[in-house]
Amino acid sequence: MRQAASVKVDLGRIRQEASGLANRFGIDGLSMNALAEALNIRPPSLYAHVSGIGEVKRLLAIQGLEELDRTATRVTIGKSGRDAVRALLVAYRAFAGKNPGVYAATIPTPPRDDKEWQTAVDRINETCRAVLQSYGFSGQDIIHALRGLRSLAHGFASLETAGALKNPVSRDESFTWLVDAFLAALDTMALRSKPG
Amino acid sequence: MRQAASVKVDLGRIRQEASGLANRFGIDGLSMNALAEALNIRPPSLYAHVSGIGEVKRLLAIQGLEELDRTATRVTIGKSGRDAVRALLVAYRAFAGKNPGVYAATIPTPPRDDKEWQTAVDRINETCRAVLQSYGFSGQDIIHALRGLRSLAHGFASLETAGALKNPVSRDESFTWLVDAFLAALDTMALRSKPG
DNA sequence: TTGATTTCCTAATCTTATTAGGCAAAAACA
DNA sequence: TGTTTTTGCCTAATAAGATTAGGAAATCAA
């Protein structure tokens, strides 16, 4: 029996519906069944387009990383130093807040042989590294600062989307405080790195 | 048919085997089937002890939070200020590194009506807050600093256990750098909070 | 010893992921 | 144009995990 007339299914629509489901019901609420239903086809039919639930999540991860990188690049254009770092962190948090499911999909590490996914990860790291570059860290300190930036951004976003920050104190203010603290720390560590 | 003679199953053994499975195979590798096999009983028999996989993970979360709090308390005894914060962060990271599965179980937020779990969460927060107290923040800044501490600790631990820090630069050194940066930030923000 | 409780079992159900194999529409081709 | 191939979807079936129902042996209380 044929399906009631509907738009043909392709990777674009799969990405779109998968994003919606993940953002609404959490990354664990995204299943082949739910996705098939959203696309108005039977679950086995999905396998004509993707190899399984793993690939759906991989698509989400790559999509999320790319959008994150585009956003990061956009908001830091024409800025440097403190302004750029601040804009980057604000955009990162906003992305995670607006797309919790897609954001969650971006966290796992790609398998070694997955070039496309790995490239998407590398791109964001490069964008962040470029933003940090202007602080003038030497060698390894850039990596340290980069890891710090990611820890901070991911830590806050992750706790916030998990609903862990329940205290009535404004989360926005806490985030601003944290960004300021990180900027202050960057100044200090930059000085320590190349004193004088 | 009776099971081959073995130690009786109780919550203690369930916690123990569940921890082992979660740490070895990841929190998602912890299933009722695997747990039952580890305990040498059939999966349905587990329901005499726990209400389901959700409760197993809840037990892990509470166990992890309590152990984390005991450790945090222990390593900060007799210390204050920088030393205490440093010890706390080092212990936190070490715990996550040694017990990745149990650590992962501690991240979700307990349901509103689960007092025991919520208490375990509150305890750690109190311990961290006490450690930060010595920095002399006023009112809301304590919450900001506490959230910063958690973001940082969780962010780094989470990225590290996820295998996201692949650059050859030493993760130990990055962590030390990050702790130093946070301490520097605390100094700056404390000054900013109550200048003079 | 008897009766209740505990602890485990088998059998069965449900959900989700996936494979196998088939049919019909659309596209390519002669 | 008719024919063949491909594509996109389907039903049926398998497998793994969580869970419920219901029963029997072992343990405990009286």
Digitized pLDDT (tens) for each residue of chain A, 196 residues in all: 444 446 788 899 999 999 999 999 999 999 999 999 999 999 999 999 999 999 999 999 999 999 999 999 999 999 999 999 999 999 999 999 999 999 999 999 999 999 999 999 999 999 999 999 888 787 899 999 999 999 999 999 999 999 999 999 999 999 999 999 999 999 998 877 765 4
Assess whether A3 (CB) lies less than 7 A from strand D. yes
Q: How many CB atoms lie within 10 A of CB A161?
A: 18
Residue A125's contacts (CB-CB under 8 Å, 6 or more residues apart) are: A146
**Closest residue of A to B147, CA-based?**
A174
Q: Extract the tokens encoding B22.
A: 């979660």
- Helix, coil or strand: residue A2: coil
Q: Which amino acid appears at position B174 of this protein?
A: S
Cβ pair B107:A162 closer than 8 A:
yes
Q: Answer with the residue of higher pLDDT: B183 or A134.
A: B183
Q: Is B167 on the interface with A (CB under 8 A)?
A: yes
Cβ pair B169:A108 closer than 8 A:
no
Q: Extract the tokens encoding A51.
A: 């190899």
Cβ pair A162:B189 closer than 8 A:
no
CB B92 within 8 A of CB B72: yes
CB B18 within 8 A of CB B28: no
Does B2 have pLDDT greater than 60? no
The tens digit of pLDDT for each residue in B23-81 reads 999 999 999 999 999 999 999 999 999 999 999 999 999 999 999 999 999 999 999 89
Give ∠ CA A155-A157-A162 in degrees, rounded to 5. Answer: 95
Nearest nucleotide relative to A41: CA against C1': D9
Q: How many CB atoms lie within 10 A of CB A139?
A: 9
CB B75 within 8 A of CB B133: no
Does B196 have pLDDT greater than 60? no
Q: How far apart are CA B26 and CA B8, in angstroms?
A: 26
pTM for the whole structure: 0.92
User: B 103-122 residues with CB below 8 A of A?
Assistant: 107-109
Question: Which DSSP string do the residues of A130-148 spell out, in sequence order?
Answer: HHHHTT---THHHHHHHHH
